[in-house]
Structure 1
Amino acid sequence: MSKVFVDSRRDLRERAFQALMSLEYDGDLVEACRFAYLHDREEQELEELPLFLLELVQGVRQSKAELDQKIGQHLKTGWTLERLTLVEKNILRLGLYELLDYEGTPQIVAVNEAIELTKKFSDDKSARFVNGILSQFVTEE
């Protein structure tokens, strides 16, 4: 794995998702980020975690109730957040946080990155579902 890919925003989003998944079972935010960032690297020395990674994980954690409420409003009748898998919930939270709150990321990029994460960690059906939910939040500029 090249250094360029490892430190790309796409890679850091993936690591943020992994940290969020581990935080579903409790734990320290910084330690979850550190583990997600270092788990498959040969080098285990780390001076500082990437700010983008920390901001994503911390932002999603702090906004979790609000994000869940917004996601819940866009689910079809009869569906609740509890029916979603942890993968779908965390990708939706991450994508929606970046879509609505993270400056500098174009909305279409935030949606596309969430879809790509879903394809990697779930399946095409879930990817279509994530696309359908997040696309409802895209505003025309």
Structure 2
Amino acid sequence: MGKDNHMQITTDFFGPVQVDESEIITFASEVPGFPEARRFILLPFGEGVPFWSFQSIDQPECAFVVTNPFWIDPDYVFELPESAKEQLGIQETAQVAVYTTVTLREPFQESTTNLRAPFVMETKRRQAKQIILDETYANRRMIGSLTEVGGR
């Protein structure tokens, strides 16, 4: 057997979890408000649930609930700044994953996502950064309709 590439981390939502080191995402630039948090892992909230915890390995209290913004707004599109493409080593769109932070509210339908400040990840080298877009997108977009997937 090869060497074990698993490590145990402390998480905000799930307590201690084992993670595969190959799944670690490294931030190419500082996450605003969390200068120590450079390495993150995406932890799913459950099968069929469109949310993940974007958990810092370096700072356990730094965890964002994130979602796939294209599920909320299929027309969501933005131009990646050249500097970001260079920093992350992005050559083509197929190498890009995008996540937006979620603010959970009660009732759930009133939860919002921040389409103005997406996390952009290059999927091969797993480098990421937060991009701040112009005013085109809201920083509090309601996500209520997500709960009606399937159903009616």
| Structure 1 length-normalised TM | 0.30
Structure (1/2) with the larger strand percentage? 2
Structure (1/2) with the larger helix percentage? 1
